[in-house]
Amino acid sequence: MDNKNFAIILVVVIVFLVVVSAVGVFYFLSPDSSDSMKNETFDNVVISVPSNVNFAKNDLNIYEDMIKGISIYTYTTGTDKSFIEELIRSEPILNNLTEINITNLSSNAKAFKWGQDENMTTIIVINDEKNKAVFIVSVYDRDLAVKMANSVVFK
């Protein structure tokens, strides 16, 4: 009888740990868990990003967080107004982007969706002088992309 009780207790403890782990993983991976934000600098551009993400700069100078599906491209050095204008003109064509209207987006930003995917969003933010730009790409959460784009500060 003692072995049977021990086995039952062991099974209950294992089930409890599995449930707690599953809830923790879901919370960590959920795009909606981005309520807490922090300011982070990307090549002289300050952007408010979710506190629970860690960006890594890849070989193409793109900052990425693969868990949340967020990428940040910065164009802040060696650029001028004509370069940024061409970038904004050509990027939607090259990547099959469709411009979308987002009412609460700042006036110096444009938003695009990727093909038929309603969630995958690119927002291009340019500075007032129109010689610097940042692209924010979010795979899962358009509202998060808008929140990040509205926080962009060029140094």
pLDDT digits 0-9 by tens, 89-106: 898 888 888 899 988 898
Predicted confidence band at 33 (pLDDT cuts at 50, 70, 90)? very low
Give the pLDDT of residue 96: 84
Residue partners of 50: CB distance under 8 A and separation at least 6: 33, 34, 36, 37, 38, 68, 144
Q: Is 62 helix (H, G, I), strand (E, B) or coil?
A: strand
What are 109's strand-pairing partners? Answer: 125
pLDDT for 19 equals: 62
Per-residue exposure over 37-64, b if at least 16 CB sit within 10 Å of its own CB, e if not: beebebbebebbbbebbebeeeeeebbb
Alpha-carbon Rg for the chain, nearest whole angstrom, is 21
Q: What is the dihedral of CA 42, 45, 47, 49, to 10 degrees?
A: 0
Q: Does residue 56 have a pLDDT over 80? A: yes
